[in-house]
Each structure stands twice: as C-alpha cells, then as structure tokens.
C-alpha cells in the first residue's frame, strides 16, 4: 500500500492555501472546435513563478523542521523547479542554491536570481547534477529538495489536480481524459491521484518528448527507466533524464499511458494558447495541448483536461511559435 493518497494532497492544499494561485480552468469554444473535443485548460502558467513547481517546493519546505529550514535548501533543476524552490525559500525566509545546466533558458536563470537564490551552473554533458547538488548540500548543511520523486513534492503538485476537480464540479463536467506534461512524473502522479479519486473512469495520459519516453517505457517495464541521452529539444521543461520510482508506482496504479510530443506539437500548443486562450506557455508547458491538437490522443468528442504547466519561455522561442499563427 502506497503512502501516497488523496489525504496527503488535501493536507498539502491546506498548507498552501492563500500562498499559491488558484489558477483558472480556461475554455475556448474556438480551441475546442479545432481540437475536436471539449478542451479544458488548467492555466498553471499563471501560477506564482510561472509554473506549477512552486506548489511542490513550498509544500516540501513547509514540511521541514525549523532548524533544517534555517540552514537552507538546494535544488537541481532545468529551470522551473529551480524557480519554485527559489520562491518557496523566499516565502519562508531561508537561503537557496539552484544547480542548473549551463544551457538553461536565460529567463529561468534570471528569475531564480530575482527570488534571491544563488545559481550554480554545471555541464550536463560531463557532470551529474545530483552529485553537484549533494556536494553543495553536504558542505553547507543544506537540504536537497528533490524535483519529483518525493511524496511531499507529489502532494504539492497534486493540489493542482484537486483544484481541477473542484473546477470541473463547479461547471458540472465529468472528464473523459486528462493529459499531463511529464518529466519525472511529479505533476502527473499528483494530478492523476486527485482526479482518479473523484472520477475513477478518467483516462490518464502523459505527454513526453518524442523519442525520449522514459516514463512510458517505465510503465511497460515496471521499473524507472532513463533516457539514453540528453534530448536536443525545444521542450526543455519535460526533458529530464529519469523517471521516479514513487511517481511510477502511482502512475501504474492509475493505468497511465504515454503520448509522444514533437517540437512541432509543442510550438503548435504555444501558438494555440497565444491565439485562443491569451495565455503564454512554454513549449514543454504546451506539450499536452499540442499533442491533443495533433490528434494523437484519440479523444474525439470527449471532455479533455490538459495542463498548461508553465510559461517561462524566452522571447526568441515564443517568436518561433508566433510564426505559426
């Protein structure tokens, strides 16, 4: 029996109340027509720090003992988790170090610095980010905040799913499917736990980088798999190297299946969100939207929830998407 359940998500929601944004569940008749299904888009790009990541980070740091918290926290992150941890540290008033790849989008680095964190860069081709973070944690007596494979993190991200359930109940809609952008599986596991408890018949699908579907492969093999290499993709928000063990267990329980997202799909998702939702999303944040628009999810005529999970995108990348409008 898993230690992860709806209860811990509810506890996280109580902890986070008033400290994070209750993001809207957006709908556009024009977008739904184009998708061929009724699309409901959880606008998590409007979250504090521009992505869902602050939910898990803040739940984690609020669960830490006071003495440990005072020493500070460390995170390794392609970007959005780093911003979430930086903002969480600022909210509770503790130091934070963010370990980032040297090719991280400029906006994500700048934002961590703005929240008051220290940024330490590493080379993803030659160095191991976990080792870099652990070295800093040991030397400074800081706590590593894991990006996804942790019940507190998963519960924090799951509060996004609790809100979706409430918002669907407010408008009287039963979801046939939910499509969730997936890197390590923190958001996907948390959200699917919340949604499956309320709507047991909803299909759970995860959106991963085409050719780098580590979580889909893990669901088949039954153990956490890794990507064979670092993907060269514009979908940086969902390009992490490994699946989690805890997240995998939850996703297996909910019979999640995988969808493969191309860079094209991601950019089409960004363009559609710009044009029809007036929402800024990053390519990885628009992956689930783009993959549904591409007709890859087999959801014609259904009620489909997608999560626009983040909006931290460099202007040059956004311009590429605008050319598709």
Is the CB of 46 or the CB of 230 nearer to a second copy? 46
How far is the C-alpha of 116 from the C-alpha of 87, rounded, in Å?
8
Is the CB of 83 or the CB of 233 nearer to a second copy? 83
| HSE-CB of 278 using CA atoms within 13 angstroms | 4
Rounded to 10 degrees, what is the CA torsion of 107, 163, 159, 298?
A: -80
Least distance between a second copy and beta carbon 272 (Å): 12
Residue 68: how many other CB atoms lie within 10 Å: 14
Sites of contact with a second copy (CB under 8 A): 21, 23-24, 26, 30, 43, 45-46, 50, 107, 111, 114, 274-275, 277-281, 311, 315, 318-319, 322-323, 325
Is the CB of 3 or the CB of 323 nearer to a second copy? 323
Residue 197: how many other CB atoms lie within 10 Å: 18
User: Which tokens in the block code for residue 157?
Assistant: 């991200």
Is the CB of 50 or the CB of 82 nearer to a second copy? 50
Burial class (CB in 10 A: 0-12, 13-18, 19+), 102: exposed
Least distance between a second copy and beta carbon 22 (Å): 8
Least distance between a second copy and beta carbon 3 (Å): 34
Is the CB of 174 or the CB of 278 nearer to a second copy? 278
Least distance between a second copy and beta carbon 62 (Å): 18
Query: b/e for 84-97, b at 16 or more Cβ within 10 A?
Result: bbbbbbebbebbbb
CA distances from 61 to 10, 90, 308 (A): 16, 11, 24
| HSE-CB of 142 using CA atoms within 13 angstroms | 24
Least distance between a second copy and beta carbon 20 (Å): 12
CA distances from 134 to 45, 73, 169, 201, 323 (A): 30, 11, 43, 41, 42
Least distance between a second copy and beta carbon 237 (Å): 13
Is the CB of 218 or the CB of 309 nearer to a second copy? 309
Is the CB of 144 or the CB of 321 nearer to a second copy? 321
Least distance between a second copy and beta carbon 310 (Å): 9
């Amino acid at each position: 029996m898993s230690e992860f359940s709806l209860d811990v998500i509810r506890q996280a929601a109580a902890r986070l109340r008033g400290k994070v944004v209750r993001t809207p569940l957006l709908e556009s008749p024009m977008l739904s027509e184009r998708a061929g299904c009724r699309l409901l888009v959880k606008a998590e790009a409007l979250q504090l720090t521009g992505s869902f990541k602050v939910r898990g980070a803040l739940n984690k740091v609020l669960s830490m003992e006071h003495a440990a918290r005072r020493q500070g926290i460390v995170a390794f992150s392609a970007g959005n988790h780093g911003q979430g941890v930086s903002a969480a540290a600022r909210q509770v008033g503790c130091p934070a170090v963010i370990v980032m790849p040297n090719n991280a989008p400029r906006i994500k680095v700048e934002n961590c610095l703005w929240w008051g964190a220290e940024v330490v860069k590493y080379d993803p081709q030659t160095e191991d980010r976990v080792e870099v973070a652990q070295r800093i944690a040991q030397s400074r007596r800081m706590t590593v905040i894991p990006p996804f494979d942790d019940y507190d993190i998963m519960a924090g991200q799951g509060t996004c799913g609790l809100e979706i359930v409430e918002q669907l109940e407010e408008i009287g809609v039963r979801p046939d499917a939910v499509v969730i952008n997936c890197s390590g599986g923190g958001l996907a596991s948390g959200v699917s736990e919340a949604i499956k408890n309320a709507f047991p018949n909803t299909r759970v699908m995860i959106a991963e980088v085409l050719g780098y579907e580590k979580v889909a492969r893990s669901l088949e093999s039954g153990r956490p798999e890794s990507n064979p290499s670092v993907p060269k993709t514009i979908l940086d928000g969902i390009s992490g190297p490994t699946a989690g063990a805890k997240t995998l267990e939850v996703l297996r329980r909910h019979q999640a299946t995988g969808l493969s997202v191309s860079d094209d799909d991601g950019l089409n998702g960004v363009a559609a969100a710009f044009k029809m939702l007036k929402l800024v999303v990053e390519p990885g944040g628009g992956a689930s939207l783009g993959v549904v628009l591409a007709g890859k999810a087999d959801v014609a005529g259904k009620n489909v929830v997608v999560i626009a999970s983040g909006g931290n995108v460099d202007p040059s990348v956004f311009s590429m998407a605008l050319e598709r409008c």
